[in-house]
Structure 1
């Protein structure tokens, strides 16, 4: 009806052995302007954290299966979109892999806690934008779910230079509109050609200090 593309997640999708273990995939879906699902990414990194001093035990793997692989960036009218979900944001290898496969935009639908969000949310999103020289868009749950859980919010849009160009805030649900200019990706990568300078072969050969 509106001829929009949608990035939606995370959805609970029944796992491959649902009848036996009742675990799901945390899935990120891209729907094109004709209403067709063009890509599904299943979250790779699961949030299992034990904080006994705070009485906190979070074990996403108890009900979620890690996805089998990354998926290729999706060609859209505004550029190639790479898919991640929430905790995946903490693993730069994922975003760099998507960038190497052509991503110009990275998306991370998320639900950070208030504590981790205040400490790390913006820093991580800006870092992923800077190191990949991509736009980064991260929808974010906001507000209190129940007495023991609240989400940080602050859905953000970050440009390829690492500048925050949109912030929905942390109080109420909201929408922010951002102009996506692919020339900013081209200019940033031309002016700071870090991908051309990257020496991947050096990362797999760490030698002891010579005496």
Structure 2
């Protein structure tokens, strides 16, 4: 049983395809599992509702937040009585050639509580892998997002944001985040090399829980995601992990608020931090 100073969260792993109805069915099943496990919130990965076969397919299905796709997920949250973190929704952009990669947090009454547009876009020639240019069809976000929830004060990020620690520093030290969410669809090459170590580093340096829900396995002939959904505590320990890196399912953890307080009290880095203008160029 969860202690009185803790609350249960679930993180999902799945393999989205180019079928919105099939993905919603998978997400609905994962929601049922999370509710049965006593979780107050379920975190789903980036591109939970759709993964296209070709670059640009996502533009064809992109919708506003009040469109039918997101409204189905709002209804799912309300009917199930659970908060949802929906990472990487294809939100319609300012024109037909662009979308926003939007992290949406919905409460247990089905209301959208917060949104975050992915700031850092994945324009990368992956060594030994494919070439990606997310900016060709995606508008970058500019604003940090935090929101209070039953599992603590959440800092919102998406996938490639993980490689930019200053965002995570701001979420913790400027916006008082306790839990940072990283829904993702990491490539297999970069995931194998960097996924877990980056997530653990972000948890250690912010003294936050980090919840990283991942796309996993082969979506189609051209696209594969690394998987490995993880929940990491503020000391950097992996406390939640599915037994199989590419299976569909959930991992469940109790967020322990006293552990957050304890880690921060014993190693008070918030007090020890120096402002960026503290440093001066070296003089010869």
Do the structures match in fold with TM over 0.5? yes
Greater shift, 96-105 or 195-204, is seen at: 195-204
Q: Distance in 1 between matches of 2:134 and 2:235?
A: 33
Q: Structure 1's 54 and 188: CA in aligned 2 closer, same or farther, altered over 3 A?
A: closer
The offset of 1:179, in angstroms, is 0.6
Question: Of the candidates 89, 93, 115, which is equivalent to residue 11 of structure 1?
Answer: 89
The answer for the alignment partner of 2:30 in structure 1 is none
Matched, 1:63 2:141: no
Unaligned 5+ residue runs, structure 2?
A: 1-78
Larger RCO (CA within 8 A; separation ≥ 6): 2
Q: Structure 1's 116 and 201: CA in aligned 2 closer, same or farther, altered over 3 A?
A: closer
Q: Distance in 1 between matches of 2:185 and 2:115?
A: 19
The answer for the alignment partner of 2:217 in structure 1 is 143
The count of residues paired between Structure 1 and Structure 2 equals: 204
Q: CA deviation digits over 1:161-192, x for unaligned, max 9?
A: 00000112312111001011111110000001
Q: Distance in 1 between matches of 2:227 and 2:166?
A: 25
TM-score by length of 1: 0.92
Q: Distance in 1 between matches of 2:256 and 2:98?
A: 40
- Give the RMSD, CA atoms, in angstroms: 1.5
Unaligned 5+ residue runs, structure 1?
A: none
Question: Of the candidates 147, 157, 167, which is equivalent to residue 74 of structure 1?
Answer: 147
Greater shift, 54-63 or 157-166, is seen at: 54-63
Question: Of the candidates 111, 116, 129, which is equivalent to residue 190 of structure 2?
Answer: 116
Where 1:46 maps in the other structure, the secondary structure is coil
